[in-house]
Structure 1
C-alpha cells in the first residue's frame, strides 16, 4: 500500500506540469488507438473466416507484424535527431488515420481475396512501422517536458500507464466487435475506431509547440553515414556485452526464452481458434485468445510484485533459473490435456515466468554495462528480443500442428527450458568480467 501511495503521489506531481500533461495525453490516446488497431489486425490475420488458420499462415502473419519492430527500431533514433519530434507525432498520427481508414475501406469494398488481402497486409506493415517511430518520439521528447528528479519517475510511469492504455484500447476494440457477425465488417470495426482515436491523438499533438520536443540542433550529418554508425554501434555493443559476460549471458538466455515463448504464443493462437472453438466460429476463437492474453497479463502483473522480493534472496541469475524452470512446468502442464482451464493456467504461469525473467535480465544489463555502452546494449537487446520472436514464427510454421496442440511439442519445449536453466545455473557467470570501456570505436554522435 505504501508503494501504491508513493506512485499516486508521484503521478500527481507530474500531472501538475502542463507540458507533461499535454505529452502524456498524446501517449495515452495514441496507445489506446494502438490497442484497437492491434485487435483489428489480429482479428484479420488470425481469426477472420477468410483465413485458413493453419500454422504456416499464422506464423507468416506473425512474422510480418513483428518485422517493423525488429528492423525499424534501432534506426529510429537517427531520424528523430534530424526531425522535429512534435512533427513526427503529428504527421505519424495523420498517416495512421489515413492508412487505418484505407485498410478498413479495402476490407469492406474489395475484400481479402487476392490483391485486397495483400494490400491490407502492406498497409498494416506501414502502420506498425510508423507506430515504432511514434513510441520512440514520445520517449525522446519526455526530457523536454520533465526535468530534475521527476524525470526518473516519468520514465518509470509513462510506459507502464501507456501499456495500460494499450490494453484498455484493445479491450474496447474487442467488445465493439462482439455484436458483429464474423466477416469484413467485424474485422474493420476495431480499425475504424482506431482511425478515430488516432485522429484525436493528432489533435492533442497540435497543442504542443512545433519545437517544444526538440531537437534544439537537428543533426546535419549525412544520413547514410549515421545509419552505418548505428550498425557499427550495435556490433560494438554486442562485442562489449559478450566480453563483459553477465549481460551477454543474460541477453542470450532472454533470446532463448523469447524464442521458446514465441512458439508457445503461436500455438496458443491456433489452439484458441481451432481447438477450443467450434470450427468456423472465429468470434469464439478470438474470445478464447483474449482470455489467454488476459491470463498472460495477470502473470506479468504478478511478476512485478514478486520479482523485487524474491530476486533479492536468489540474485538475478538465480531468479532467472527459477523462472525458466517455472516456464518448463507450464509446458508440462500444457502437455497433459488441451482444455480451456489448462491453457489459461499455463498462460498465467508462462506470463509470470517471462516477465520475471525479463525484469531480472533488464537489471543485469543495467547494472553490469558501463554507461558509455548502455544505450547500444539496449538497442541490441531490442533487436535480439524481437528477432527471437520472428525466428520462433519460422520454427512454428514447421513444428506446430494446425490445431496448435501436440504433447510431444510441449514436452520438447519443457526440456529446452530446463536445458537453458541448467546452463545458466551451472555455467553462468555471477560477476561481470573486467573489460576496458573502449572495446571498439565510439559511434558517431547524432
Structure 2
C-alpha cells in the first residue's frame, strides 16, 4: 500500500513536490511520524492521569512521562551524535523507526484492562517511553544531517522552515485531538496509530535515493576511547566556531525561558485572566497557529535582511512580547500577543537548522545537533523544575501592585522568561555583528 502511494505521489505533478523527490519523502515521513508521536504522548499523559485518578500521586506520575522522555536526551544525546556521524543516515533512520514501532507496540497488551498491579503498568510505560526517546536521539540528528545530502544549499532555509511548520502543526493538532479520541476510543488507538506512523515513515524513507558515499558506514573502530575522542572533537569544533557558540547559548536561554512559559501558561490562562477550561485550548493554540504563519514567512524575511538578523530579531521581539502580553492580564491582548510570540519564535526555530548546517562540515553534523539538543533539553528541564519550585515556595503569595493591575508569582516568572529570551536575542545580535 505505502510503496504504491509513494509512487503515485512522485509520478504526479511537480507542484506536489516540496523542493525535490527525496526531501518530499523525508518531510512526509517525518510529518506523519510526528503527528503519531504527539497524539501518543498526549494520550499517555491522559492514560497515566486516569490510572491514578483522584490520587495525590497523579501529578508526580504524569510528570514521570516527561522525565522518562527527557533523561535519554541528557544521557545518550551527545554520544548518539558520534554514531550518527559514522553510520549511514538512511539506514539509521529506518532502523530507529522499526525499533520504535516494536517498542510502542509492546504497550498494546497493557492498554487492555489486564489484572496487573498499577506499579507494573507504570513501570512498563516509563521504560517504553525512555527507550523510544533514546532511539529518537539517533533518528533526529540523522534527519537533520541528511538535509545537506538531499537539499541544495540555497534551499536549506526553506527546507528547515517546512520541517518546523510540520512540527508546529503536529503539536497544535495532537493535544486538541488526543482528549476527544482517548475518551471515545481508549489508549489502544493511539498506540496502534503511532506504530502505523513509524511504519509509514520507514516505507517513505526507504524510497529515498542518496549518493553511494552516504550509504557506506565508517570503518573506524568504535571503542569507548574513540567515541569519547570524537565527542571531544565535536565540542572543540563548536567552541571554535562563533556562529555555533552563539546559537548554542541563545538556544539555551530560549529553552530555559520557554520552559518557564510552558509550565506557567496553564496557571496564567486559568487563574490570572480567568479563562474557563472550555476555552483553554483556544488560548493554547494561539502560539502554534502563529508558528505556522512564522514558518511560512521566514524564507522571505531571511532573503530580505539575512538569516542571522531574522534569528536575533525574532528572539528580541518575542522577549518583549512575552512581557507586554502578560503584564496587563487582559484576554484580548494575550490572544494577539501569543500569536505574535508564536510567529517570532518559530521564525527563529526554523532558521536554527540551516544556520547550523551552513557552519558545520558534513562529518560533524550529527555531533553538533546532538550537543545542541542535549543542552536545550537540560535548560528546559531545569526551567520546568525551578519555575514550579519558585511559584510554590519563594514567590508564593507575592503580589506587586501596579497602575495596570496586580502582578503575582506567575506574572513575575513569565516576565523573567521574557527577559531571558530577550537576552538571548541581544547576545545573538551582538555576536553576529562581530562577523561582519
Report the TM-score, using the length of structure 1 for normalisation: 0.69
Match of 2:402 in 1: none
Aligned ranges for residues 108-257 of structure 1 at < 5 Å?
Answer: 108-110=112-114, 113-141=118-146, 146=150, 150-152=151-153, 155-156=156-157, 159-166=160-167, 171=173, 174-175=176-177, 177-178=179-180, 180-181=182-183, 186-204=186-204, 214-241=214-241, 244=242, 248-257=245-254
Kindly indicate whether the alpha-carbon contact (under 8 Å) linking 2:316 and 2:426 is maintained by their aligned counterparts in 1: no
Partner of 2:221: helix, strand, or coil? Answer: coil
> Unmatched 5+ residue regions in structure 1?
1-7, 279-283, 435-446
Kindly indicate whether the alpha-carbon contact (under 8 Å) linking 1:40 and 1:190 is maintained by their aligned counterparts in 2: yes
Aligned ranges for residues 400-411 of structure 1 at < 5 Å?
Answer: 400-401=391-392, 407-411=408-412
User: Alpha-carbon deviations, 1:392-421, whole Å to 9, x = none?
Assistant: 12213312459x998233224425634774
In structure 1, what is the Cα distance between the partners aligned to 2:425 and 2:175?
41
Give the one of 362, 370, 373 matched to 1:382: 373
In structure 2, what is the Cα distance between the partners aligned to 1:45 and 1:273?
23
Matched, 1:320 2:324: no
Kindly indicate whether the alpha-carbon contact (under 8 Å) linking 2:25 and 2:204 is maintained by their aligned counterparts in 1: yes
CA shift for structure 1 position 125: 1.6
Give the one of 380, 392, 398 matched to 2:383: 392
Matched, 1:106 2:110: yes
Aligned ranges for residues 36-115 of structure 1 at < 5 Å?
Answer: 36-44=39-47, 50=53, 61-80=65-84, 83=87, 85-110=89-114, 113-115=118-120
Kindly indicate whether the alpha-carbon contact (under 8 Å) linking 2:39 and 2:175 is maintained by their aligned counterparts in 1: yes
User: Alpha-carbon deviations, 1:285-311, whole Å to 9, x = none?
Assistant: xx835x455321222234342696499
Using the TM superposition, name which of 170-179 and 388-397 deviates more: 170-179
Kindly indicate whether the alpha-carbon contact (under 8 Å) linking 1:316 and 1:363 is maintained by their aligned counterparts in 2: no
Partner of 1:221: helix, strand, or coil? Answer: coil
Kindly indicate whether the alpha-carbon contact (under 8 Å) linking 1:251 and 1:381 is maintained by their aligned counterparts in 2: yes
> Unmatched 5+ residue regions in structure 2?
1-12, 398-406
Report the TM-score, using the length of structure 2 for normalisation: 0.71
Q: Are the structure 2 counterparts of residues 253 and 293 from structure 1 closer, same or farther at C-alpha, using a change threshold of 3 Å?
A: same
Q: Are the structure 2 counterparts of residues 186 and 327 from structure 1 closer, same or farther at C-alpha, using a change threshold of 3 Å?
A: farther
Q: Are the structure 2 counterparts of residues 97 and 371 from structure 1 closer, same or farther at C-alpha, using a change threshold of 3 Å?
A: closer
User: Alpha-carbon deviations, 1:353-385, whole Å to 9, x = none?
Assistant: 433444677787677x58699846555433322
Q: Are the structure 2 counterparts of residues 379 and 86 from structure 1 closer, same or farther at C-alpha, using a change threshold of 3 Å?
A: closer
Using the TM superposition, name which of 259-268 and 161-170 deviates more: 161-170
In structure 2, what is the Cα distance between the partners aligned to 1:54 and 1:128?
22
Partner of 1:115: helix, strand, or coil? Answer: helix
Match of 2:343 in 1: 352
Using the TM superposition, name which of 70-79 and 252-261 deviates more: 70-79
Aligned length: 405
In structure 1, what is the Cα distance between the partners aligned to 2:313 and 2:23?
40
In structure 2, what is the Cα distance between the partners aligned to 1:318 and 1:176?
34
In structure 1, what is the Cα distance between the partners aligned to 2:265 and 2:249?
24
RMSD value, Cα: 4.8
Matched, 1:263 2:264: no
Match of 1:31 in 2: 34
Match of 2:6 in 1: none
Kindly indicate whether the alpha-carbon contact (under 8 Å) linking 1:53 and 1:273 is maintained by their aligned counterparts in 2: no
Kindly indicate whether the alpha-carbon contact (under 8 Å) linking 2:318 and 2:344 is maintained by their aligned counterparts in 1: yes
CA shift for structure 1 position 132: 3.2
CA shift for structure 1 position 268: 2.5
